[in-house]
Structure 1
Amino acid sequence: MAQPLCTLLLLLAALAGAQAWSPKEEDRMISGGIYDADLNDDEVQHALHFAISEYNKATEDEYYRRPLRVLRAREQVVAGTNYFLDVELGRTTCTKSQPNVDTCAFHEQPELQKKQLCSFQIYEVPWEDRMSLVNSRCQEA
Structure 2
Amino acid sequence: MFFWCCVVLFASAGWSVDAAEGMTGEPRAVPVNDTEVLRAAHFAVSEFNAEQRVAYKLVSIKSAKIQVVAGVNYILEVLLGRAKCQSLSAAQTEPCFFRFKHNELRCRFVVTEMPWNGSRALTKKKCRPSN
Report the TM-score when normalising by structure 1: 0.70
Alignment of 1:107-126 (within 5 A): 107=99, 109-111=100-102, 114-126=103-115
Please name the residue that 1:13 is paired with: none
Please name the residue that 2:10 is paired with: none
1:26 equivalenced with 2:18 (yes/no): yes
**Alpha-carbon displacement from aligned partner over 1:65-90 (angstroms, at most 9, x marks no partner):** 11111111111011210010011110
Alignment of 1:56-135 (within 5 A): 56-61=49-54, 64-94=55-85, 95-98=87-90, 101=93, 103-107=95-99, 109-111=100-102, 114-135=103-124
Deviation of 1:25 (Å): 3.7
CA contact (8 A) 2:64 2:77 kept: yes
Higher helix share: 1
Q: Supply the distance in 1 between the matched residues of 2:78 and 2:111 (Cα, whole angstroms).
A: 13
1:139 equivalenced with 2:128 (yes/no): yes
Shift of the 72–102 alpha-carbon distance from structure 1 to 2, 3 Å rule, reads farther
CA contact (8 A) 1:38 1:73 kept: yes
Question: Any unmatched runs of 5+ in structure 1?
Answer: 1-23
Which deviates the most, 24-33 or 68-77?
24-33
Question: Any unmatched runs of 5+ in structure 2?
Answer: 1-15
Q: Percent sequence identity over matched residues?
A: 32
Report the TM-score when normalising by structure 2: 0.75
Corresponding pairs, count: 113
Please identify runs of 4+ aligned residues in structure 1 that moved more than 6 A. Answer: none
